[in-house]
Amino acid sequence: MRSYHISELEQLSGIKAHTIRVWERRYNLIEPDRTETNIRMYDDNQVRKLLNVSTLLANGYKISKIASLNNDDIAKKINEIQSGKETTDVIATSYINDFAASMIDFDEPAFEKTFSAVVTRYGMFDGMLRVFYPLMQKIGFMWVIGESMPVQEHFASVIIRKKLIAAIDGQLPPVKKNKKFLLMLPPNEWHEIGLLFSEYILRSKGIPTLYLGANVPYENIRSVFSKTKITHLLTFLIARRTEEDLSLLRKNLGIPSDVELLVAGNPEMTQLLHKHKNTKILHSPVELLDFI
């Protein structure tokens, strides 16, 4: 069983570390272990409980009421929320927390069950926007990459990657002729979920794509432009790069002057590109939707 720092609880639950400490003292909500240097550490069960508390808070429950419930009562109320007619945001929050809890245990059947429930309620497209994208933000991969929970991140990303590929394969053939997107990750970039979701968005709107995947050598990218008519190149930058590397990005990619470059990823990297000619920075999937 893994131990978690309070900063990780804050990231997963969305509840501030200071608030968690107050609830520990006032309501005895969870009881952390302590290291020899008196640092709070939390186990899987405590993380799961706090995720459920977060769901109930989003549904309007007061913390004083939640603290009086046992684990079975909390689980019952979570089930009522997901089967009821509460607002979309509240239900989406409960699904996100269910996913996070199943990741902690590497519980693939539970992850799959929640995935099916999300797609049944929202469909794949809205499910990605309302649930999976916020989940990816919460655990640190896709548009903004952190360093927390790397093993759980890998577990979830493999499952979501498979689902996205299946969803992309299920799209109708592209019909628009005036645009064609090249999607790829440059050398030393491996986080492919955001790229796959981008392809799903584009293909769902009938836009043709050429998908090259992760860690593509620069010389391979340049050769594409001589063989097919590309109007846009979309990529993600997560790995740290020097300002000089970023200033040479279009040149290294071999992008013709009339091809627009769309870049998402680590804000520390992308913000250095916002003044580059014919380059657009994407901060979320919604911005890609608005663009196309």
Residues lower than pLDDT 50 in the chain = 141-148
Write down the pLDDT at residue 86.
59
Write down the pLDDT at residue 146.
40
Q: Provide the whole-model pTM.
A: 0.74
Instruction: Please name which of 256, 258, 177, 176 lies closest in space to residue 224, comparing C-alpha atoms.
Output: 256
In single-letter form, the type of residue at position 63 comes to I
Per the CB < 8 A criterion, the answer to whether 231 and 180 are in contact is yes
Q: pLDDT (tens digit, 9 = 90+) per residue, 16-44? A: 999 999 999 999 888 888 888 888 888 88
Sign of the CA dihedral running 216, 222, 224, 229: positive
Please tell me the distance from the alpha carbon of residue 263 to that of residue 256, in angstroms, as a whole number: 16
Per the CB < 8 A criterion, the answer to whether 61 and 78 are in contact is no
Write down the pLDDT at residue 145.
36
Instruction: Please name which of 3, 34, 7 lies closest in space to residue 18, comparing C-alpha atoms.
Output: 7
Write down the pLDDT at residue 84.
64
H helices of 229-272, in order, are: 243-247, 249-253, 267-270
Per the CB < 8 A criterion, the answer to whether 195 and 236 are in contact is yes
Please tell me the distance from the alpha carbon of residue 96 to that of residue 55, in angstroms, as a whole number: 9
* β-sheet bridge partners, residue 211: 183
Residues of the chain with CATH 3.40.50.280: 173-291
Pairing of strands 209-213, 33-34: unpaired
Strands (E), 168-237: 181-184, 209-213, 232-237
Write down the pLDDT at residue 255.
92
**Cα angle vertex 287, ends 284, 292, to 5°?**
135
- Dump the DSSP string for 23-44: HHHHH-----EE-TT--EEB-H
CATH code for the part of the protein at 173-291: 3.40.50.280
Residues of the chain with CATH 1.10.1660.10: 6-165
Write down the pLDDT at residue 135.
81
Write down the pLDDT at residue 247.
85
Q: Does the domain spanning 6-165 belong to CATH 1.20.58.1030?
A: no
